[in-house]
Amino acid sequence: MANEEQAKPKEESSNSFLDGFIDQSSSAPQRGPRMSEEAEKSVIGKNIKFRGELIGNESLHIEGTVEGTVIMEGHNLSVGAGGELNANIHAKNITVEGALTGDALAEELIEIRRTAVVKGNLIAPRIQLDDGGKFRGSMDMVDTDAEMKERTSDFKEKLVHPNLPPRDNEIDGKKKAGKGSSAKSSGLFSAKSAATETSDSPAELVTSD
């Protein structure tokens, strides 16, 4: 009897150890769509300054300084608490925790967090302003797909950097526009960009130590 009683706790201990091992393996993080999206996200670090036209086919997070235009159609754009964005922007979802000066169009949602300072005009089906967030400008909450398509078409005029050569699909449009220069349509950042852009290259990337 004594041997059986001594063997029983050992068996229970063995089972509990095995169960714990199985639980740990089953609770290991599985790679899914959310992790895949995070892996595909690019980051502009806090020591990077970019001037020009920024176009991407993946989500982007900005911790540094960007001036010009940012186009992330179908993908997410976020500005960290230390980030500064002086640009007109277009993305699927836009989240601002830092500073944004310029007009913004989002296909789904624009979210202004409590640490954000935003100056510009916002267009999106949904716009969220957290308590404490600072905003100056206008909000246009689009109701229908047709209205969103119209806003997107009109907004493309604001996504032309004043000191960059036009993209191929814009050359004909500019010839027809006549006196309507892209500099006038570039929004809040146009004057500053014109004053600071001295390089012949279409975009300037500056890193600081």
Yes or no: say if 108 and 126 are a contact pair by the CB < 8 Å rule: yes
pLDDT top residue among 40 and 159: 159
**69-84 residue pLDDT tens:** 999 999 999 999 999 9
Write down the residue that tokens 């390089």 correspond to.
199
Question: Helix, strand, or coil here: 187?
Answer: helix
pLDDT tens figures, 116-169: 999 999 999 999 999 999 999 999 999 999 999 999 999 988 888 666 656 565
Q: For residue 29, what pLDDT is reported?
A: 42
Q: Which residue has the higher pLDDT, 71 or 3?
A: 71
Q: What does the pLDDT read at residue 180?
A: 45
Which pTM was predicted? 0.63
Averaged pLDDT score across all residues of the chain = 74
pLDDT surpasses 80 at 7: no
Residues of the chain with pLDDT > 90: what percent? 54
Question: Rounded CA gap, 160 and 149, in Å?
Answer: 18
| Stretch 35-64: mean pLDDT | 85
Q: Is the pLDDT of residue 26 over 90?
A: no
pLDDT band at 16 (very low <50, low <70, confident <90, very high): very low
* DSSP 3-state of 179: coil
Q: Comparing C-alpha atoms, which of 163, 155, 47 is closest to residue 102? A: 155
Predicted local distance difference test score (pLDDT) of residue 167? 59
Residue-level pLDDT at 159? 87
Beta strands 48-55 and 104-112 are unpaired
pLDDT at 27: 41
Distance CA 5, CA 189 (A): 81
d(CA 149, CA 146): 5
